[in-house]
Structure 1
Amino acid sequence: MRIFADRLPEQLAKTLHPVYLLFGNEPLLLQESKQAIRQAAASQGFDERHRFAVDNSFDWNPVFDCCQALSLFSARQLIELELPETVNAANAKELVALADMLHPDIMLVVVGTKLTKAQENTKWFKALNQRGCHVNCLSPDQSRLPQFVQTRCRQMGLQADNEAVQMLAQWHEGNLLALVQSLEKLALLYPDNQLNLVRLEESLSRHNHFTPFHWSDAVLAGKANRAQRILRQLEAEGVEITILARTIQKELILLTQLQSAAKHTPMTQLFERHRIWQSKRPIYSAALHRLSVVKLHQCLQTLAQLEIISKTQYEVSPWPLLHQLSAEICMPQVQFTKA
């Protein structure tokens, strides 16, 4: 079973699973999910909680000791395991063994960062997942964020019109903790709980947080205005231009490889070969439809020129050229027809 973090309270109200797998990159969702599970578990008699941080030299004996203690002599137990980003072979083996040791007096919560497709296919993950619930704690993407904002507003009794929801989403993208804090502030400022653009502009400032990957995704999708807005903010925050150049270089090279191979290989097969996530395939498809091999080579040449400027001409800012490159990648190809 797999659900988004915002559906977890609803699921917990129906039934408790013996295993919860919390994986994602959003600290707020991970923390709230852990807290919701703790409260639900406590209401069902899981009064004893043990937390373990797993590393490459972790001793599993204390965890197994917890599983061997039955409720006849001790309280029902909640075990929380914080996994490292990479689970080595030794820990993977112990996780499989742990899955076989679970019983009704134990609830297991496993917490980790964003999962890769390869990790989802591991024996340890499948062994635990078939016994419980996988909770997706990833940051909502741009398309899901307004719905997330609307849900949060309803939970807090706030009534936001569509324009207010869109502004809240835009101003807090990549920073959900700031979003919650802003909503709490608005609830205090406006007892009537009505939110609109005027009130937001009077009371809040931007708290969005972008990474180079937000920019590259916008560029691949051809969203020129969004790409420029993100790039301006990254520039203002002092992000190293070399990081952005390397990020987009990797994408341009991958697109060139895909475009060249697409002549004799189905695109689905190419996506699998290059391990491109299902959620990312639409933006790669959009970029491939928009950019020919010739255009991609031109973009790579512009990128090389940018790198030369950044490393040799210190009196010249390379940022205007990066903004130009961003716009060129987003620009649809002009189709010429014969008169």
Structure 2
Amino acid sequence: MNISSYQHHLALVLKKEESHLFRNSSFIVFAVVLLVLGFASSLFYYQYKKDEPLRQEVQYLQFINGSFNTTRQGIDETLASFKIAGAKIKFIDSSKESTPQAAGFYSLLDDTQRSIDKIETLQKSLKFQKNLIKKEEVPAKYQAVTGDITGFYDVSIDNLEAAKGEQQFASDMLTASGLSFYLPVLSDETMWASRDTKAIKKYYEDKKLEANTALTSLGKLSVPGDFQNYYNNQIAYLTLFVETGNKIIDILNKEDNKNPEVATQLEQAYQLLNAAKKQNEVTAQTLLVERLKVFDTKRSLERFAQINLVSQNLGSKLADFNQNQDQPKTDQVFTKLRSIYPAFLQGLQISPII
């Protein structure tokens, strides 16, 4: 009985010693793990702070790339809109002298306003991007290219302002001239076919008043140098219309000659009209050519040639920077973790904060 109790006592002592040893070992392991984690965290934090300048460079490079690409896209879209509008105007304006009204008047007026809106939107975007850059702390490495980009924005804004001025002038020319004189026509052939002298006289009396009003309105416009020929030919057409209208009215106010071999006053008036039409052919063709300048793609490309050249050079510089920019080592660790545990990390990123 005593022997059995002694053995039981020894077993209890051994168990206590084993339990104590296990606790001590667990504590030591836990302490070592904490020390390792603390040391690793310290190293990681040290490296993270050391990478801060690199991280700022990477973030700024991403920002400047986005700003620049947005601007290039806006300029390309604006140039594309000029090309579409120019093709539409050329198709509509190919009408002949007998066309009484121009179907393209409202179309062109709408296109010019759309272009003005596009240009103003792009200008606002450029100024906004420029102001954003001013608010950023620019890394020394990117000081030079940042200056190039802000200079590119300034040149773009100036060129767009000139383009907007031309679009506004085109719109003002249309409004001042009026729908009746969008195409440089001198007659309504259907009306002449009716041989109604009173209606013809009424037509030219009314149109003369419109033409004189248009001439007065045009006289108030400020004309860009490149569009002086357009303006001069529009004035020449309206002046010819008034002169032709006066002559036709004077002829029709006279009585027909009783001699049947002599042309009637209506026939004489129509002969005069045909002579005026021949004189007007050169003016009409010139007006079409000059009007197309507003949306001429080649001319627009020439205008923006400097912008495009600077844009290409800047694009190449940014591409080189993107290629050669060093990445923070701590960010590389996160990148590797994302590739190994994408679903896990994504879940952490989108998990709500409670």
Q: TM-score, normalised by structure 2?
A: 0.23
Structure scoring higher RCO (CA < 8 A, sep ≥ 6) equals: 2
- Structure ranking higher in helix proportion: 2
Structure number with larger C-alpha Rg: 2
